[in-house]
Structure 1
């Protein structure tokens, strides 16, 4: 489909071949986001992305405070609290007070089962998308994906946010380009502090 507006045609017409190819790749990457968003939204059913991320995150990590969870999800404390309250009403999580003023959130057995179900659906949906690639293409795609993911990380908080839906039992340690990059950044900062 060709752009119809004059301004669009003028913009693309003024690009050299390299710029046009980069714009085309970026455009396709943006379109892929729409495809992934639709697929993941379908896999997560009626859950909001925040509620699903809370269940999935807590299924791998120990109880954490509402404010810590909000940082992982990039949600305000009140928005995070509302999502947690909905999950608590369903019997999936429980809020409790720690010795300090913070409220801790922990996943319950029913929540762990629901998180496993959602994670299975999520991974199955995304695996089906990958099955359109040949085995050699999948290996190449994995290498490229690792580079793109690592390149998006600026700090540990970024890493946690990027990986909020991940199956940490599968993608952990040296298999996680996001966590590895966050560790490299932290080690580099420690080296700079010592030097």
Structure 2
């Protein structure tokens, strides 16, 4: 039992460290909040999202999402456009899309560095374990957009199946 408690503790410490290295560092370098960085990545992969939906995808309330969009819009990174009826969608500007690509690159650098501690066999084993953990996390969170808000979707789906997307497809109705 002690081994499971230690493993859970190691996972928690690793998750926080990885999150700090990947998200906070990238957002800080870009001069935006972590939620703003996540929003830019969300918009990079799915253009034209309403403010409320964008907030849901990055884990913010509607009012917090509106303030975040205001900030990103003032920085010239997103723009609001009329949608259907009275709805408004948020899209990235060219500068916002460029920054989203830069954020993904900045996110990858410390993660790739950490993975350098593993040999090829360990790397493959970790990939299998992470896929299992992500599938379980989807079962708890139940929202692919929220769970994958800062994902490089191409890296996850080129020559592979996204474990979160597969967990969603496998979920009983």
State the shift of 1:118 in Å: 0.9
**Partner of residue 71 from structure 2, selected from 73, 86, 90:** 86
* TM-score, normalised relative to structure 2: 0.91
* Structure 2 residues without counterparts, runs of 5 or longer: none
Instruction: Single out whichever of 167-176 and 101-110 deviates more from structure 2.
Output: 167-176
State the shift of 1:126 in Å: 0.8
Please identify the structure whose Cα radius of gyration is greater. 1
Matched, 1:105 2:87: no
Distance 1:62 1:155, change over 3 A: farther
1:59 match: secondary structure: helix
**Partner of residue 155 from structure 2, selected from 144, 152, 170:** 170
Off by >6 Å, runs of 4+ in structure 1 = none
* TM-score, normalised relative to structure 1: 0.81
1:94 match: secondary structure: strand
Distance 1:166 1:23, change over 3 A: same
Distance 1:43 1:99, change over 3 A: closer
State the shift of 1:71 in Å: 1.4
Matched, 1:184 2:166: no
State the shift of 1:70 in Å: 1.4
Describe the superposition over 1:95-133 as per-residue Cα deviations: whole angstroms up to 9, x where unpaired: 122132322100111111111111111012211111111
State the shift of 1:183 in Å: 1.4
